[in-house]
């Protein structure tokens, strides 16, 4: 048995490790503000009002996870919306995409960092000296309000050589997520800012200087851990094209979070509630109040909480429900690896399960929080030295 309090502390340390560090966060903000300023200061013939730049996705939501690629920790992805004050009805998506791209290319350095045109965005790739770089994805967009005070936008979509619009509402989604997070956020706010400031006094002179964006609730921690587990679980699996997308994980976790104030309890409750939906694969019964639904025609529905027309699970029925099956198989593994493990008694098994499911580097670094550090009964490698080189000095 692992002590639940210790285990929660362990999970927090893991989440902290895969999270963006305060200094990296500051770097990222500086980088994107500089890009934002450059875009704002452009001389645009097509419009006269100000354009706006804001983060969306995990960077906005505080659920950033350092991606893992082929077993290695890799660069952070940061998504920015660049909203041009243009009328969707009279402007073509191709033009919106190229206005932003052209302006980026006017800058000597950005031109060099710019990657090949993406489906929806322009990507600047920053290789940093410490080896932990960023991908800055800039999504050109225009306002697309459904009602008066609505923050919905239309983003461009490139397919082969033609462009179309897609609906999106990152600001609205952010507000929805903040609401789910609010009461826990208030609760952890002060304590976390204090501890962040204490650990990085050279970055934040005072506790008040720590931005809210760096505070993490158990919901955000749980989402980070789920994403990490997913990344490791699907990293070398053939089914990785069916790996659940982050927005699905974030949305469902948001729905199933009940403001639990400890990371393990939050994670285990979310996973439990998701687990209970696995029977939807066999059973097409429609529970109209659940966030995961089957529709009359056997398809799946996980609605965008701020735009019910957008279905995050619209492809789940394809390939014989491959994405749905992958999702629930993964939830099963997640339950076994990160929730049920608390009942495990042998520390070697605990080590093994946690290091294979979270990444060996990250998990081993924090084992001392839950299992006794190497004692005599744990093998120290025995090395025989038959002959040896002589030490030297240049």
Binding site for another protein (CB under 8 A): 70-74, 127, 130-132, 360-361, 364-365, 374, 380-394
Give the nearest distance from C-beta 129 to another protein in angstroms: 8
What is the smallest separation between the CB atom of 376 and another protein, expressed in angstroms? 11
Minimum distance, C-beta of residue 128 to another protein, in the bound complex (Å): 8
* Beta carbon nearer to another protein, 90 or 385: 385
Place of tokens 């493990």: 341
Rg (CA), the chain: 23
CB 45: neighbour CB atoms within 10 A? Answer: 6
Nearest of 207, 212, 199, 290 to residue 251 by alpha carbon: 290
- Whether residue 81 contacts residue 97, with contact meaning beta carbons closer than 8 Å, is answered with no
CA-to-CA distance for 336 and 229, rounded, in angstroms? 11
- Are 73 and 363 contacting, i.e. CB atoms less than 8 angstroms apart? no
Judged by CB, which is closer to another protein: 1, or 383? Answer: 383
The smaller minimum CB distance to another protein, of residues 161 and 392, is found at 392
Q: How far is the CB of 127 from another protein (least distance, A)?
A: 6
- At closest approach, how far in Å is the CB of 70 from another protein? 7
Q: With respect to another protein, which residue has the nearer C-beta, 111 or 374?
A: 374
Choice between 70 and 283, CB closer to another protein:
70
Q: Which residue pairs, CB below 8 angstroms and at least 24 apart, start in 364-369?
A: 365/13, 365/17, 366/10, 366/13, 366/14, 366/17, 367/10, 369/6, 369/9, 369/10, 369/13
**For residues 198 and 191, is the Cβ–Cβ distance under 8 A?**
no
The CB-of-359 to another protein minimum distance in angstroms stands at 9
Q: Which is nearer to another protein, 106 or 348 (CB)?
A: 348
């Amino acid at each position: 048995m692992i002590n639940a309090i210790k285990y929660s502390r362990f999970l927090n340390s893991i989440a902290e490790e895969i999270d963006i560090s305060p200094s990296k966060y500051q770097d990222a903000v500086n980088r994107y503000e500089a890009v934002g300023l450059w875009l704002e200061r452009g001389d645009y013939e097509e419009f006269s009002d100000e354009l706006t730049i804001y983060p969306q996705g995990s960077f906005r939501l505080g659920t950033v996870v350092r991606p893992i690629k082929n077993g290695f920790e890799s660069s952070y992805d940061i998504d920015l919306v660049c909203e041009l004050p243009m009328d969707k009805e009279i402007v073509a998506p191709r033009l919106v995409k190229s206005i932003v791209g052209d302006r980026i290319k006017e800058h000597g350095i950005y031109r060099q960092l710019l990657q090949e045109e993406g489906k929806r965005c322009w990507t600047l790739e920053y290789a940093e000296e410490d080896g932990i770089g960023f991908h800055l994805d800039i999504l050109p967009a225009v306002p697309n309000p459904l009602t008066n005070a609505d923050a919905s936008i239309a983003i461009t979509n490139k397919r082969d050589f033609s462009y179309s619009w897609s609906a999106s509402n990152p600001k609205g989604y952010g507000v929805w997520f903040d609401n789910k997070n609010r009461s826990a956020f208030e609760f952890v706010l002060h304590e976390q800012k204090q501890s962040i400031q204490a650990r990085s006094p050279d970055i934040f002179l005072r506790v008040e200087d720590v931005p809210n964006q760096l505070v993490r609730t158990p919901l955000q921690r749980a989402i980070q851990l789920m994403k990490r587990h997913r990344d490791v679980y699907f990293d070398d699996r053939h089914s990785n094209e069916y790996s659940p997308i982050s927005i699905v994980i974030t949305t469902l976790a948001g729905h199933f979070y009940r403001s639990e104030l400890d990371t393990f309890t939050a994670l285990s409750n979310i996973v439990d509630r998701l687990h209970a939906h696995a029977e939807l694969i066999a059973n097409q019964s429609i529970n109209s109040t659940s966030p995961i639904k089957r529709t009359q025609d056997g398809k799946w529905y996980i609605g965008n909480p701020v735009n019910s027309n957008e279905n995050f699970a619209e492809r789940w029925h394809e390939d014989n429900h491959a994405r749905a099956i992958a999702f629930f198989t993964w939830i099963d593994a997640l339950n076994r690896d990160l929730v049920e493990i608390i009942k495990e008694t042998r520390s070697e098994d605990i080590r093994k399960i946690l290091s294979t499911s979270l990444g060996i580097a990250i998990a081993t670094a924090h084992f001392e929080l839950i299992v006794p550090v190497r004692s005599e009964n744990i093998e120290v490698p025995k090395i025989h030295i038959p002959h040896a080189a002589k030490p030297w000095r240049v």
